[in-house]
Amino acid sequence: MKLFVGLGNPGAKYAHHRHNIGFMAVDRIAADHGFGPWRAKFQGQIAEGRLGGEKILLLKPETMMNLSGRSVAAAAQFFKLEPGDITVFHDELDLAPAKVRVKHGGGHAGHNGLRSLHATLGDGYTRVRLGIGHPGHKDLVSHYVLHDFARADADWLDDLLRGLSDGAPELACGDAGRFMNAVALRTVPPRPSTPKKATSPARAEERPGSAPASEIEPDTRNTLQKLIDRFR
């Protein structure tokens, strides 16, 4: 079993906030892939289903963002899951809107939800960083993330959520590259065909809509930490 976690704050008043894009992502996956109904458990809402050949538990913690780790740790302990079995979808200020990065290990960069997860799980889980853009000054961040997406964001947000859902089976089986390709096909669709031009060797392997390898961030754990995470 794998655990997919969406980060956000519970309650109708937070539902469309930028900080809740993680909730939106797992809601879309559940709806598109025929998951069972959401039900209360592990201080959150869970839904069970399959993505490809993998059994998946979706989780939306209801502890408020800064205590998300309590809910995730409870689910992980119950199902005897290791950090490597857990993927977390969360908002990312340092990425432009609709940009996505997959990251293994590393710091929490001040994100309160990730900070809580680090405290309960360590850093050995996978993150899907969902770009929401930055308001331009640190003093504006709190108001910005705890505010609804603008109407102008509707199209790219819908494309992004569709792409995350399209690629979810690939993510579940551990193929981050194919997952990113699926997202790119929604957010950066191939251009209409044009007359062929000579292709330089340096660009011969590029394809429209494909995700650059740089969008899959390297695992920053050292060899000892990887072994610890693998066998604990």
Class of residue 138 by CB neighbours under 10 A (exposed 0-12, middle 13-18, buried 19+) = exposed
Structure confidence at residue 194 (pLDDT): 61
Residue 224 reports pLDDT greater than 80: no
Residue 66 reports pLDDT greater than 80: yes
Residue 107 reports pLDDT greater than 90: no
222-231 average pLDDT score: 57
Which one is predicted more confidently, 10 or 191?
A: 10
Structure confidence at residue 127 (pLDDT): 96
Nearby residues of 123 by Cβ (< 8 Å), 6 or more positions away: 83, 105, 106, 107, 108, 221
In this structure, what token pair is assigned to residue 184?
A: 């790119």
Which one is predicted more confidently, 47 or 205?
A: 47
What pTM does this model have? 0.83
Q: Per-residue pLDDT tens for 147-178?
A: 999 999 999 999 999 999 999 999 999 999 99
Quote the CA–CA distance of 114 and 105 in Å, as a whole number. Answer: 11
In this structure, what token pair is assigned to residue 35?
A: 């998951």
Task: Point out the catalytic residue in the list 19, 33, 90, 104.
Answer: 19
Residue 206 reports pLDDT greater than 50: no
Quote the CA–CA distance of 192 and 215 in Å, as a whole number. Answer: 24
The domain segmentation of the chain, as residue ranges, is 2-231
Nearby residues of 136 by Cβ (< 8 Å), 6 or more positions away: none
In this structure, what token pair is assigned to residue 44?
A: 């959150």
Annotated active-site residue 137? The verdict is no
Q: Specify the CATH number for 2-231; select among 3.40.630.40, 3.40.50.1470, 3.40.50.970, 3.90.180.10.
A: 3.40.50.1470
